[in-house]
Chain A
Amino acid sequence: MHPASWIGWVLAVMVVALATTNPFYLSLLLLAVVLVAVLAPREGAGVVSFRALAVFGVVMFALSLGIAAINGNYGDHILFTLPGPRVPEWLGGLRLGGPVSAEGFAAAAIRGLAILCILFAYGVFNGAVSPHRVLRSTPAALFQASLVVTVGLTLLPSSVEDLRRVREMRALRGAPGGLRELPALVVPAIVGGLERSLRLAEAMEARGYGASPPLPARARLAAAASAPLLIAAAWLWFYEADWRLPALGLFGAALALLALWWRAASRVRPVTRFEQERLPAAERAGLAVAAALAVGALGLRLTGAGAMDYNPFAGLPVPGFELLPALIAVASAWPAVLLIARPAPAPAASPEARLAPERAP
């Protein structure tokens, strides 16, 4: 799939996950994400492995449950009571230990579910699309910033390798290891990383993409002016009910200024693309689905329809369940359709790639 499709999918999952606190919908969404995760290609060189992210997500989930227990809870369904010190009232109502309620657990689990959905989705994206592919389809205006990030990410593995080698050299000098060794490990690795970055920066400068020519003053002014306009527009919209029309006007003006900046930034460094990855029609349809899902979930949430909001502290009721939001959650698995229908994957890496000699361990 095209990087843009993946980004669209991750964003839509994020919006849906944050728009609902209903555990039924969240569970369905998680199932949809896991289905995509199973089908997604993972041969790409993600920066962080999907496994690491998945483990991180599960740990976060467990932690939020644990914190809910320690921190004490309100609610009527007390499961058990933990011993804990009484913290004086003037410390702001902080609680440690005390009664642990089913409501508290439920709330923590729902929060955790939403985080899991987003982390898994990001993990799939990260494993399926290398940062270099994302860079290739970045709009020209954002190219410089993306290039910096991408190159930084490629330096990460070599810094980890440096750390391993420094540790080994310390052991060869008879150093005992342990926490006190940390500066001796980290300082050389960081110095090595900085020196490598400088050499890379120099090579990039020599190849002519070190720095862009500056933007024209007008464009920079436009970008700078758009931020206060946006803030003012938001302020008027939310706090001054009578001023919503002018707020819309300000918002439009800010957008126009941003568009001006975008155009200038795209032109300042003319580039061509050798082989632009094209967005196939099927994926365009997928992106439309993603947009519809996000808008649908937000709409339901804002109108209060579809039992999107669930509050366990109101006596631990059974969450509502309606067809439309459930469909939205399930439909978030749309990349699965594209992934099943895709042509057979290209043959795996060449045999030389697998025969990593010498430096393997």
Chain B
Amino acid sequence: MRGRSQQVPLFAIALAAVGAAIFVLPVAGLLWRASVTDVWRSLSAPAVRTSLWLSLVCSISATSCAIVFGLPLAWIQARLDFPGRALLRGVTMLPIVLPPVVGGVALLFAFGRRGLLGSWLNDYFGVQLPFTTTGAVLAETFVAMPFFVLTAEGALRSVDRRLEDAARTLGAAPWRVFSRVTLPLIRPSLQAGAILCWARALGEFGATITFAGNFPGRTQTVPLAVYLALESDPDAGVVLSFLLLGLSLAVLVGLRRHLWDAL
């Protein structure tokens, strides 16, 4: 091993250092700026606390939606063979690569007051999603759910189907097989997927601001507040950015084993 590592050419190390710097420097910059900020004073500002609380509520709601609707979706994609499955899978993965702003625009055309479903919701139920907290949850769900579906589907595909067969021969009906055998077997992957989904929802900006707007206390989550605060109250912006960074890093480091296995 030692003999091999000595053969790594210097220029590769130099290029790798530049590559790493692209990630490390912004983190260091934020740390440096945060160190000269009165963190506690900024954190106790009501606007900051409001956006933190809203972010927490929205991201947890979005993750719950992703689990409730995403797990059946993942199951159908993993286990059923039907025409158009490849297309469905492509569409459910789309938000991963789609610019979030475009996603927000698309959400407006679907759920906006004159949108495909939105006009109907408005006419018959008087329900309006855009520029509401529910709309923010919807936007975050749209962007973050694919991460849960992707991990859940992968787990459902890799689980040993023969164990499910064995459970059936022991007298377990399909639902019992799923809840007592399949679910416990894929639980680690589901947890990793849910946390990944939650982290993505927490950091969501583009689709939320496009679809739900930027209303403090209603749709202004932490990323939106950061964007606004950079003009009015840079210290608060720095503290919030620092918080988001810390959370994201904690998630990635804490889940490193699950994530690399699941992805």
Q: Decide whether A and B assemble into one complex.
A: no
Interface residues of A (CB under 8 A from B): none
Interface residues of B (CB under 8 A from A): none
